[in-house]
Amino acid sequence: MDLRLDAYALSNTAQIITPALLIYPEVVDANIRATLAMVGNDPDRWRPHIKTAKLASVVRRFISQGVRNFKCSTTLELLTACQAGAADVLLAFAVSGANARRVIEIANEFPATRVSALIESAQQANTWRDSGIGMFLDVNPGMNRTGIDQTQVEEIVALARRIGKSFRGVHYYDGQISAPDLHERGAAAYHGYDQLSTIVRALEAAGVPAEEVITSGTPAAPFGFSYPGFANAPFVHRISPGTVVYNDFTSLGQLPGFGYAPAVLVLATVISHPMPNVITCDAGHKSVSADAGVPTCLVMGHPELTPMKPSEEHLPIQSSVAEKLPPIGDSLYLLPRHVCPTVNNFDHALFVVDGEVQAIESVTARGHEQPLAHVMAQA
């Protein structure tokens, strides 16, 4: 993995309060193009999850390159996608009660955007009845997080029949497929898609064909596109990787050779030399997410530095070359291990072009909507 700093370093960091989120829009665009190349330059084969992108301006960058169908997890992400001009958004998260009412309100506010939701039960289907919201059946591919077990084919068909005209298709998020070896990962993905194909054929035979089949987060993305059963199928098939718009050191390791590069870094400052071979910077887990484990990040341009376990605001970093410790006040550029929740840690992002900050943008879909948003919308 190339972690050279030349293309990312700012010409002047003296005016920037750290930690700061840096987005490189030219790399964002290149990553979008790389994913489009993966899917045969057909934007209709990609439904990116915008839990990574988060910013309305980045959603608009997708749209400018022909990508108009999206997935999201929160009502705020749904609102952001609709405001940015998305044609079709799937709320890929089971909701009910006030959350569901808010989805309906947003859909009614943006009638030009087709809005759908996931369901796995008759009770959830009733939530959306006569609402205009489309429904995708959430099928559990073995991740065991949500969805109907993929072996329950009769139950899946029966639920699709119950939904009727609002049934749009099948959602099959195989996020558990993440083996380091590409061949092993591909074999596991294809095995799952064989099982999924059985479900899709059963739906068609029962007279409730799937309009769309959605698969494949980032680790399985190439295999979702290359699976022969999805080519020239009677349904639209879309993969749904979202991390690839920015990338992190995990995704770059998972998808070598596809032309991806880091588009997001966290700028930090060295604040202490607590030990002869340790520095500390101001990018603890409230800045660079620790959800994927330690190290939480890599230090661009410094292969001798290894980040250690963070606390809330502090990130200690060990050096294998004690005499080369960056001095207090020095800037560090951190490549996150998991970029999606890292972006969610920041209120604002600095857009960097040619070593200069060109713009500052709000991280539009950070966190969640105000808890009484549905009440306020009715007032």
Place of tokens 């490189």: 24
Paired strand residues for 148: 139
In a domain, 43, yes or no: yes
Domains of the chain: total: 1
d(CA 86, CA 75): 14
Residue 357: the pLDDT is 98
Encoded amino acid at 57, one letter:
S
Q: Comparing 116-130, 300-314, 365-379, which segment has the lowest mean pLDDT?
A: 365-379
* Structure confidence at residue 32 as a pLDDT band (50, 70, 90): very high
pLDDT of 102 strictly over 90: yes
In a domain, 323, yes or no: no
* Structure confidence at residue 379 as a pLDDT band (50, 70, 90): low
In a domain, 285, yes or no: no
Residue 376: the pLDDT is 74
Residues 241/246/248/253 CA torsion (nearest 10 deg)? 60
Q: DSSP string of 98-142?
A: HHHHHHHHHHHH-TTSEEEEEE-SHHHHHHHTTSS-EEEEEEE-S
d(CA 38, CA 231): 14
Paired strand residues for 297: 336
Compute the average pLDDT of residues 260-274. Answer: 98
Residue 1: the pLDDT is 59
In a domain, 37, yes or no: yes
Cα(first)–Cα(last) distance of the chain, in Å? 53
Residue 373: the pLDDT is 78
How many Cα atoms are found within 13 Å in the side-chain-facing hemisphere of 290? 15
For the stretch 177-193, pLDDT in tens is 999 999 999 999 999 99
pLDDT of 350 strictly over 90: yes
For the stretch 6-29, pLDDT in tens is 999 999 999 999 999 999 999 999
In a domain, 10, yes or no: no
In a domain, 193, yes or no: yes
Compute the average pLDDT of residues 242-258. Answer: 97
In a domain, 183, yes or no: yes
Residue 2: the pLDDT is 59
d(CA 214, CA 133): 17
Domain that holds residue 158: 25-246
CATH label of the domain that carries residue 203: 3.20.20.10
Q: What is the CA radius of gyration of the chain?
A: 22
Residue 235: the pLDDT is 98
Average pLDDT score over the chain: 96
Per the structure block, which two tokens stand in for 112?
Answer: 């030009």
In a domain, 331, yes or no: no
